Structure 1
Amino acid sequence: MLIRPITEADAPAVWSIIEPIIRAGEEYALDRDMSEADALAYWIASDRETFVAEVDGEVLGSYYIRPNQAGGGRHVANCGYAVAAAARGRGIARGMCAHSLSHARERGYRAMQFNFVVATNVRAVGLWASMGFETLTRLPGAFMHPAAGEVDALVMFQRLD
């Protein structure tokens, strides 16, 4: 797997990955009707670095990394990850997480925080825990899941130094 910075040419592949995730409304607190332009503007915004993961020349995943907060909170990184549905279970998310942790250390971040991990996303919760993240708190009913109704969201954290 090659993980590299995104290019303009990758936008259609990234959209094909994030669109079904956004439309399903089960993993991210984003408007399910978000336009392609708005979704890509969010994913590839100027306040973050965005990467793609490719296997045999095909983009199968993407992630972004950014400061979690401004000012005094800039030393903590925040990331978002997305994997093509057909590529799930192949280690793409694990590889991107490992890359993001390494990249965060290189950039001088001292910790990484996931602000809003939907608790029903058990694959993500388990993966992040296996990568060394601990759940700091549970936000009861903070996410309106389209099928399950109000579900909890987790704040997950890892020191990098």
Structure 2
Amino acid sequence: MTTAPADLLIDRPTIADGAALWRIAKESGTLDLNSSYSYLLWCRDFAATSAVARTESGEPVGFVTGYVRPEDPRTLLIWQVAVDAAHRGRGLAAALLDGLTARLVADRPLVTVVETTITPGNTASERLFASYAARHDAAVSREVLFGAELFPDGPHDPEVIYRIGPLSR
């Protein structure tokens, strides 16, 4: 398991973190940006299945959002992972993923699989989740979940689902 840099704390997000998560997502340059309202709701309704990295002063500098799939309570779907530019390259995204899944499987022992979607060519995300699978001694399967033709709002790359599991305990 990857640990957070010593000067950062991995915690649950709060509603007050919503604006910072929106900013970090916006400044990432790679994520599909959701409305600021959705990040506020996410921090309220899905805090138990999400994580935030904070500085010693409490400022959010990275996050991972996720939810347990209602139709499959064994599966945690990771929605977004982002780290503020000033904190990239320190293993923070990996520490956030590891910290969230460790907390979640302690609370929900049924969770044994992690899913995420990645657009082709997003090498950073591909590496992040491949290394996550390796650390957790888990297999990875991939297939197109949503083809480009399904997106109604203009050109969009397909979304490939990565299914990682079963996770080692």
TM-score tier, shorter chain, comes to 0.7 to 0.9
> Which residue does the alignment assign to 2:74?
75
Relative to structure 1, the CA distance from residue 143 to residue 40 in structure 2 (aligned partners, 3 Å threshold; closer, same or farther) is: farther
Q: TM-score when scaled to structure 2?
A: 0.71
Higher strand residue share: 1
Relative to structure 1, the CA distance from residue 141 to residue 10 in structure 2 (aligned partners, 3 Å threshold; closer, same or farther) is: closer
Q: CA deviation at 1:45?
A: 5.3
Q: CA deviation at 1:158?
A: 2.2
* Aligned-partner Cα distance in 1 for 2:43–2:17: 11
Q: CA deviation at 1:123?
A: 0.8
Relative to structure 1, the CA distance from residue 123 to residue 134 in structure 2 (aligned partners, 3 Å threshold; closer, same or farther) is: farther
Relative to structure 1, the CA distance from residue 35 to residue 110 in structure 2 (aligned partners, 3 Å threshold; closer, same or farther) is: closer
CA contact (8 A) 1:3 1:54 kept: yes
- 2:51 matches 1:51: yes
> Which residue does the alignment assign to 2:90?
90
Q: TM-score when scaled to structure 1?
A: 0.74
Match of 1:137 among 135, 142, 153: 142
CA deviation profile, 1:46-68 (whole Å, cap 9, x unmatched): 25523210133331111223212
User: How many residue pairs get matched?
Assistant: 147
CA contact (8 A) 1:27 1:121 kept: no
> Which residue does the alignment assign to 1:113?
115
- 2:161 matches 1:155: yes
Q: CA deviation at 1:140?
A: 8.7
> Which residue does the alignment assign to 2:4?
none
Q: Percent identity?
A: 21
Instruction: For structure 2, list consecutive stretches of 5 or more residues without a partner in the other structure.
Output: 1-7, 150-154
Q: Which runs of 4+ in 1 moved over 4 A?
A: none
C-alpha RMSD of the superposition: 2.8
SS in 2 for 1:89: coil
> Which residue does the alignment assign to 1:104?
104
